[in-house]
Amino acid sequence: MSDRLDTRAGFVRRIGLFQATAINMSQMCGIGPFVTIPLMVAAFGGPQAVIGFAAGAVLALADGLIWAELGASLPGAGGSYVYLRQAFQYRTGKLMPFLFVWTAMLFIPLAMSTGVIGFVQYLGYLWPEMSQGQGDAVGLVVTAAIIALLWRRVENIARLTVVLWTVMIAAVALVIAAAFTHFSPERAFTYPAHAVELTSHQFWLGFAAGLTIGVYDYLGYNTTAYMGAEIRQPGRTLPRAIVYSILGIMTIYLLLQIGTLGVVDWRDMLDPGNVASTSVASAVLEKTWGRGAAVAVTVLILVTAVASVFTGLLGGSRVPYDAAREGVFFRAYGTLHPRHRFPVLGLLTMGVVMAVGFLIGRHTDLATIIQLLTTVMVIVQALAQVAAVTVLRRRQPGLRRPYRMWCYPLPSLVALVGWLVIYGYADESSPGRHPIEWSLVWAAAGAVAFLLWARHEKEWPFGPKRISEEYLHGADPDAEGAGGGVPGRG
C-alpha cells in the first residue's frame, strides 16, 4: 500500500492497524495499572477494588465508540479539536475548539507526568537509597530523553512503538503468570464486611474515586485519533484500533488486578512503608519467583513506563497543530519540522508542562494529579464529545461515516452518566484539593483568553462566524490508499 500525503494537514498517512493498536495499547497500559492498584484498593477499602477496573472498562468502551465514530468521520490532526470545531461552529464559532486546546495543553502533559512519577516509584525498588532530590533529577532526565526520542519522523516512531509495545506485553504477561502460579482465591475474593453495600454513601464515594482511577488507567484508547491525518484508511483503522485496544487492555487489567490481589495482602498496599504500596508488581514477583525475577521484571516495567509517556506525548503534541493551522491557536504551533515533519513547538511545550506536573506530583501525591487532570478533561472534552456525536448527526447528516456507533445512542448515555459521576464526586473524592473549582477556574480563564483572542482576530462574537465543512465535501481518505474497504455500518 502506498503512503499518501494529507495535503490539508501536511502529514503523511503511514500508520496501519497494527501500529495504531500498539500505539493505543502502549499508552493505555504503560505504568498505569502498576501504580494505581494500591490507589484502587484504598478507594474501595479492600479487594473489591476490581469493581473499579470493570467500571472503568465499561466507561472506556462507551466513550471509545464515540471516539470511533468521530475519528472515522473526521480523520484530521488534533482529534477532539477537529470534532468540537465541526460540531459547535454553527452556534459558538471557534469557542469550543479553543477551549479544548486550552485545556489539552494542561491535562495531556499532566497525564504523561504520572507515567514519569510511576517510573521513579519503580526505580525506587532497584535503588532503595534514592533521595527525593535524586528522584526528581531522574524524572527530569527521563522527560528530556523522551522528547529527544520523539525528535524524528513518525514512521520511525511507529516502528519503535511496536518494540516498546512488545516489552509492555512481556512485562504484564510475566506479572500475571507469576501471580497465577501462586494464586490464593481466598486472599483475592475474601471481602471485608459490607464491602458492596449499594445503599451506603461511602460505597458510592469509593466507586466514584475508583471509576476515576479506572478510566485514567484506560486513557490512551484515543491516542491515534489525535493522529488522524497520519493514519492509513482512517475510517477502517481508527474504530478497530480503539475497540481492539480497549478489549485487549480490559482483559489484561482484570487478570493483573485479580492476580495481584491473590498474591499480595491488600492491607500491605495501604502501608506506606511496604514495597507493595509503591511497587506492587515488584512485590508480586519477589513473593512468587524471587528477588532476581522481581528485578528483571521491574526493568521491563521501567521500559513500559517510558513507552506510555512516549506514545502519549507523540499523539498529544499533534493537538495544537491543527488548531494553529485553522487560526484557533497561536500561529507558531502550526509549524512542522522541515525535515522530520512533526510539530516542534507543541512537543516542546507539552514536554515542559509534563516536567512541571512531574515535580508537582512528586511533592504532593499521585492520586491528586489523577483527580485534577481527569476533572479538567471531563468538563471540556468528554462531555462536549458526547454532545458532538448527536450534533453532527443533525447538522451534517451527509457526512461520510464509515463507522456508525453501535446501539446509538446507548453508548453516549452510558458515557454521559459515567463522566457526570466522576465530575460530581470529584471534590468528595479529593478532599481539600477542590478539583471542581480548579477546573471551573481553568475553563473560565480559557473563556477570557478566547474573548481576547477573538477580539484581536475579529472572530465571533466580534466578527462573523466562519463555517468550515471540509470533511463533509472533501475527498474520502479511505479511497486514497490501495485496497481495503470500510467496516460495515452499525
Q: What is the CATH number of the domain that holds 80?
A: 1.20.1740.10
Are the C-beta atoms of residues 354 and 112 closer than 8 Å to each other? yes
Percentage of the residues of the chain whose pLDDT score is greater than 70: 92
Torsional class of 451: left (φ above 0), alpha (ψ -120 to 50), beta (otherwise): alpha
Spatial distance between the Cα atoms of 4 and 8, rounded to a whole number of angstroms: 12
Span 163-190, average pLDDT: 89
pLDDT above 90 for 41: yes
Return the pLDDT at 158: 62
CB atoms within 10 A of CB 155: 15
Q: Give residue 298's pLDDT band: very low, low, confident or very high (50, 70, 90).
A: very high
pLDDT surpassing 50 at residue 357: yes
Residue among 190, 205, 204 at smallest CA distance from 258 = 190
Q: What is the pLDDT of residue 5?
A: 43
Say how far apart CA 397 and CA 352 lie, in whole Å: 41
Taking 3-state DSSP, the helix, strand and coil percentages for the chain, each rounded to the nearest 5, stand at 70, 0, 25
The pLDDT of residue 8 is above 50: no
Show the CA angle centred on residue 377, arms to residues 311 and 224, nearest 5°: 30
- Computed over every residue of the chain, the mean pLDDT equals 87
Q: Decide if 370 contacts 52 (C-beta within 8 A).
A: no
- Whether residue 30 is contained in a domain is answered as yes
Paired strand residues for 381: none
Between 293 and 4, the more confident residue is: 293
Asked if residue 109 is part of any domain, the answer here is yes
Is the CB of residue 263 less than 8 Å from the CB of residue 284?
yes
For residue 217, pLDDT beyond 80: yes
Q: Does residue 410 surpass a pLDDT of 50?
A: yes
CA 435 and chain centroid, separation: 19
The C-alpha cell of 319 is what? 493537538
167 domain-assigned: yes
Rg (CA), the chain: 22
Domain enclosing residue 211, as ranges: 11-437
How many domains in the chain? 1
pLDDT of residue 9: 46
* Residue 455 counted as domain residue: no
Of the candidate ranges 11-15, 130-134, 375-379, 453-457, the one whose mean pLDDT is the lowest = 11-15
Cα–Cα distance for residue pair 476/343, rounded to 1 Å: 25
Size of the chain in residues: 490
Assigned domain for 475 exists:
no
Task: Answer yes or no: is pLDDT of 57 > 70.
Answer: yes
The 3-state DSSP class for residue 458 equals coil
> And the C-alpha cell for 196?
458492596
Looking at residue 39, its pLDDT comes to 92
122 or 25, which is more confident?
Answer: 122
Q: Please state, as a whole number, how many other Cβ atoms lie within 10 Å of the Cβ of residue 141.
A: 11
In a domain, 394, yes or no: yes
* pLDDT for residue 352 is more than 80: yes
Measure CA 232 to chain center: 22
**Rounded to two decimals, what is the model's pTM?**
0.86
3-state secondary structure 135-163: HHHHHHHHHHHHHHHCCCCHHHHHHHHHH
Q: What is the mean pLDDT of residues 199-212?
A: 91
Is the pLDDT at 453 greater than 90, yes or no?
Answer: no
CA distance 129 to 425: 38
Phi, psi of 172 (to 5 degrees): -65, -45
Whether residue 477 lies inside any domain: the answer is no
Does residue 461 form part of some domain? no
Tell me the average pLDDT across 117-122: 94
Least trusted range by pLDDT, from 78-87, 189-198, 475-484: 475-484
Looking at residue 422, its pLDDT comes to 95
Cβ neighbours, 10 Å, residue 234: 31
pLDDT confidence of 131, banded at 50, 70, 90?
Answer: very high
Burial (CB < 10 A; 0-12, 13-18, 19+), residue 445, is exposed
Confidence of residue 11 (pLDDT cuts 50, 70, 90): low
